[in-house]
Amino acid sequence: MESAGDLTTTRAPFIENARADGELYIEQPYELYSAQNHEAWRTLYSRMVPRWERYAHPKFLEGVNNVALDPDRVPRLSDINKFLSPLSGFSAKAVSGYVPAYLFFDCLRGRAFPTTITIRDLSKLDYLPEPDIFHDAAGHVPMHTDKVFADTLVKFGEVARSAARYAQSINDKEQAYRTIESIIKGMARFFWFTIEFGLMRSNGELKVYGSGILSSYGEIEYAIESPEPQRYPFQLEWVINQYFEIDHYQPLYFVIESFDELFAAVEQLEDWIEAGKLDCLSPGEPNVNEEDLKSFLEASV
């Protein structure tokens, strides 16, 4: 059994207390990780490495090398940042849980990535609906060492600010709500099908750069090898109108040709938002909550 004070996902008193006190950005209380927490990291990491070598995009493998993650212990974010910040200006910033949409994107604009510090239960390594430090630090952070990728995340933050300005300029309050709900949906779908579940062609081979896949032992093989999912070239108008579900392997992936193409697509997203093209996207997942809406409509932009 874990000690009462460890940092297991959904069962960490430290996190519950921080949330109860309204603290979103926190310190990583490293001494609270239990032996089982470290064992969960070690197990996740060691079984993932051969799959990364086989299926991950070369930029991700370079990143894993560059941030020097410890295979045996949950990483200290301060150690990661020592390697990461000189490369792209990015840092991993500890959070106590869910970050409302605008704050999330705005954090990216400031070159910081909101990073979960809890780790999944040793007995549930395969499926976890919530992000944990393995997903965030091993799945996301290595990509942040790449300059173009890091700039793409910053651009996402700028797009969010443009979207907030655009929605705040709408006088009719109800219309402003409807519009920003649709835009947040579009941005979340774009983020999902690229940063979280994106595939990319590299030297003629299909590779994974999306963090949701890179942190999943089962899905990384499925995404590349299985005949089941559909794989289509990235198309902005499709992606922003495509609903997604989070509780099973993805039935649909979008393949992009390069990180430059990805950056250009985020720029195009901003143009489309300002041209009103995201005002009325198709309904369906993801659900946008009240906190997300308010975070955009009340942001100082």
Q: Smallest gap, in angstroms, from Cβ of residue 210 to Fe ion? A: 9
Beta carbon of residue 3, minimum distance to Fe ion (angstroms, whole number): 28
Give the residue with the Cβ less far from Fe ion, 108 or 288.
108
User: By 3-state DSSP, what share of the chain in percent is helix, strand and coil, each rounded to 5?
Assistant: 55, 10, 35
- In the bound complex, what is the minimum distance in angstroms from residue 116's beta carbon to Fe ion? 9
Contacts of 92-95 with CB under 8 Å at 24 or more apart are 92/136, 92/137, 92/141, 92/144, 93/25, 94/25, 94/26, 94/27, 94/28, 95/24, 95/25, 95/26
* Closest C-alpha to 142, from 27, 234, 48, 35: 48
Residue 272 CA neighbour count, 13 Å, CB half: 19
What is the C-alpha separation between 151 and 147, in angstroms, rounded? 6
DSSP state of 32: G
| Contact code string over 189-228 relative to Fe ion, x by CB under 5 A | ----------------------x-----------------
Q: How far is the CB of 175 from Fe ion (least distance, A)?
A: 31
CB 135 to Fe ion: min, Å: 6
- For Fe ion, give the closer residue by CB, 211 or 250: 211
CB 267 within 8 A of CB 171: no
Shortest Å distance, C-beta 211 to Fe ion: 5
Nearest distance, CB of residue 5 and Fe ion, angstroms: 26
Please list the residues that pair with 231 across neighbouring strands.
253
Residue closer to Fe ion by CB (options 152, 211) is 211
Residue nearer to Fe ion on the CB measure, 91 or 211 = 211
Nearer to Fe ion, 130 or 225 (CB): 130
Report, in Å, the least distance between residue 107 CB and Fe ion.
13
User: Based on CB atoms, which residue is closest to Fe ion, 88 or 194?
Assistant: 194
- By beta carbon distance, the residue nearest Fe ion is 211
Residues numbered 259-278 forming contacts with Fe ion, rule: CB under 5 A: none
Buried b (16+ CB within 10 A) or exposed e, 194-233: bbbbbbbebeeebbbbbbbbbbbeebbebbbeeeebeeee
Closest CB to Fe ion among 211 and 295?
211
Q: Would you state the structure tokens that stand for residue 257, as one six-digit string?
A: 């040709």
User: Two tokens at 242?
Assistant: 């495509």
**Type and span of the H or E element at 147:** helix 147-168
If the CB atoms of residues 176 and 256 are measured against Fe ion, the closer one turns out to be 256
How many residues interact with Fe ion (rule CB under 5 A)?
1
**Which residues here bind Fe ion, judged by CB under 5 A?**
211
